[in-house]
């Protein structure tokens, strides 16, 4: 077997298991170990989100093969870049983003889609409390509900109610501690925009490029071979392509939020890229995977040098 094809098979099929990737992540994060517990929490956050991504594609059969490549891609996205090592609002919100995706996918042909849509937007609402600008994904998830054939008039109102529920809890908490600023703060952050397209930092470029490249290659493969997937899987992946595109565009227009937006973007991108690597077993895809791994290593060395 060609070495590149063997490399891809080992990584996708488990020869290079998630445990091995975890050890490499520990090595990357050890650079920041002496700087405080926030970096340890960041590592644990990436490991947790990686496991949730694996759980998501198992629950909804987003990828036919049993693989941890999605978690490896997500984890390496954080590990390769020192500014992403600390826990961020976006990393915390990524947990609720995955749960929102779970309930959204569960709403497909559900006998009671309004309840699943309600749960989807409850999860999205909790994510918005952690990272308020996640609110702007509400229209995207509305489109996702339509793609999953679960959006009607009642589902629309269920979605709005679901988003309000977490903020009602926050309001009760604010009254309990007699500090209304706790409730007002997320709304102020929702509209706290810097100058659009201003605030780029050099470390953002390699991370953005690798996510964009994975999205373009993965989406191109999906749209040219999607008849090989079930209808349900095609709908799910189509929405994930839309979600990935919106989040990466958000990085371009709000680069000052890149630390939070990159972990959020890496969630859907890692699934799309994992779908590509799991279903292709050629020298080209093996070479592309080797290139991506080298890019991650180069990005780590680059951000370490800039530190």
pLDDT in tens, 224-242: 887 666 888 899 999 999 9
- Say what the pLDDT of residue 33 is: 64
Determine the structural domain holding residue 231 and report its residue range. 3-306
pTM of the model: 0.92
Angle at CA of residue 147, ends 145 and 150, nearest 5°: 45
Band (31; pLDDT cuts 50, 70, 90): confident
Residue 10 has pLDDT above 70, yes or no: no
Q: How many domains does the chain have?
A: 1
Give the separation between CA 205 and CA 306, rounded to whole angstroms: 13
Burial of 31 (0-12, 13-18, 19+ CB in 10 A): middle
Band (260; pLDDT cuts 50, 70, 90): very high
Q: Do residues 295 and 77 make contact, with C-beta atoms less than 8 angstroms apart?
A: no
């Amino acid at each position: 077997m060609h070495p590149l094809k063997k490399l891809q098979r080992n990584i996708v099929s488990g020869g290079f298991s998630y445990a091995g990737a975890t050890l490499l992540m520990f090595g990357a994060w050890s650079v920041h170990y002496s700087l405080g517990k926030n970096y340890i929490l960041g590592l644990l956050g990436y490991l947790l989100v990686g496991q949730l991504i694996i759980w998501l594609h198992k629950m909804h059969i987003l990828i036919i093969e049993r693989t941890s490549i999605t978690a490896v891609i997500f984890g390496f996205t954080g590990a390769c870049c020192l500014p992403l090592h600390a826990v961020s609002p976006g990393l915390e919100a990524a947990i609720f983003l995955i749960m929102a995706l779970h309930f959204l996918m569960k709403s497909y042909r559900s006998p009671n889609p309004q309840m699943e849509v309600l749960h989807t937007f409850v999860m999205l609402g909790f994510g918005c409390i952690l990272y308020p600008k996640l609110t702007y994904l509400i229209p995207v998830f509305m489109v996702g509900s339509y793609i999953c054939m679960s959006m009607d008039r009642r589902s629309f109102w269920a979605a709005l109610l679901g988003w309000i529920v977490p903020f009602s809890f926050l309001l009760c908490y604010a009254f309990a501690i007699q500090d209304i600023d706790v409730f007002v703060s997320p709304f102020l952050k929702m509209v706290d925009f810097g100058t659009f397209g201003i605030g780029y930092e050099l470390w953002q470029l390699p991370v953005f490029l690798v996510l964009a490249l994975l999205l373009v290659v993965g989406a191109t493969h999906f749209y040219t071979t999607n008849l090989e997937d079930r209808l349900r899987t095609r709908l799910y992946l189509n929405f994930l392509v839309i979600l990935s595109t919106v989040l990466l565009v958000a990085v371009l227009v709000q680069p000052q939020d890149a630390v939070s937006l990159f972990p959020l973007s890496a969630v859907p991108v890692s699934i799309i890229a994992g779908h590509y690597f799991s279903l292709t077993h050629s020298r080209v895809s093996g070479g592309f995977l080797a290139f991506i791994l080298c890019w991650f290593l180069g990005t780590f060395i680059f951000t370490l040098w800039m530190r």
